[in-house]
Amino acid sequence: MAKANLDLIFYLNGLKPVPIDTRFVLLVKKYSCKFVFENKLKMNCPCCSGKTYEECCKPYHTGEKHAPTAEALMRSRFSAFAIPNGEYLMETTLPGKRKLHNKKDLQEWGEINEWTKLEIVQTPALNHVEFKAYYTDQDGNSQVHHEFSVFQKMHDRWYYVSGEFLD
Ligand SMILES: [Zn+2]
């Protein structure tokens, strides 16, 4: 395996390896926020914050930090669908609500859809986030998941509690 391939796999740090082109620019079809590699590997965060993945959602996914706000947690969960990382989605669900979800289903839901854009509509309270998640389903149809989510802070960590689907 070429060194650049290994580098990327390590860079993704436990996330699913993606096919690599060892040249400088690579567009990975699965992601709308394209991976662009120039000299050093740089990656736009899937949550479309405009920051690199490393400066944005990665430290939350690796457990290095906890998302400081409900919005940051929401963004990191969107990224976790895009990557996908079902384990993170489970871990960031309020423990008492986890039985309503299934890690395998979350992982699959992330995998079968192409997550194209996240739009935060409003954050009317510290624990409320309204968002639109844009994705292309497995039949190639554009879809919007519009949700009003409730989060809860417990022992200094934010968790996803539940969501009301809108539209
Ligand atoms: Zn992000």
- Nearest-angstrom CA–CA distance, 159 and 46: 20
- With b meaning 16 or more CB within 10 Å and e meaning fewer, what string describes 97-121? eeeeeebeebbeebbebbbbbbebe
φ/ψ region of 74 (left if φ > 0, alpha if ψ in -120 to 50, else beta) reads alpha
Residue 50 has what pLDDT? 85
pLDDT at 38 over 60: no
Given a cut of 70, is residue 21 above it in pLDDT? Answer: no
Q: How far is the CA of 20 from the centre of ligand 1 (A)?
A: 22
Confidence of residue 48 (pLDDT cuts 50, 70, 90): confident
pLDDT: which is higher, 15 or 63: 63
Distance CA 8, CA 17 (A): 8
- Interval between CA 73 and ligand 1 midpoint (Å): 9
For the chain, how many helices (H) and strands (E)? 5, 6
Distance between Cα 48 and ligand 1 center (Å) = 6
Residue 129, pLDDT score: 98
* 68 pLDDT above the threshold of 90: yes
- In the prediction, which pLDDT does 91 show? 97
Residue 71: is its pLDDT beyond 50? yes
Q: How far is the CA of 59 from the centre of ligand 1 (A)?
A: 10
CA of 120 to the centre of ligand 1 (A): 12
Q: What is the mean pLDDT of residues 35-49?
A: 60
Share of the chain above pLDDT 90, in %: 64
First to last CA, the chain: 48
Residue-wise pLDDT for 79-106, tens only, equals 999 988 999 999 999 999 999 999 999 9
Give the integer Cα–Cα distance in Å for 89 and 107.
Answer: 8
Could you tell me which CATH number the domain at 3-165 has? 3.10.450.50
d(CA 138, CA 40): 33
Who has greater pLDDT, 20 or 127?
127
Beta bridge partners of 52: 44
In sequence order, what are the residues at sequence separation of 6 or more whose Cβ sits closer than 8 angstroms to the Cβ of residue 14? 62
Q: How far is the CA of 64 from the centre of ligand 1 (A)?
A: 14
Q: Is the pLDDT of residue 56 over 80?
A: yes
Compute the distance from residue 126 Cα to the ligand 1 centre, in Å.
Answer: 19
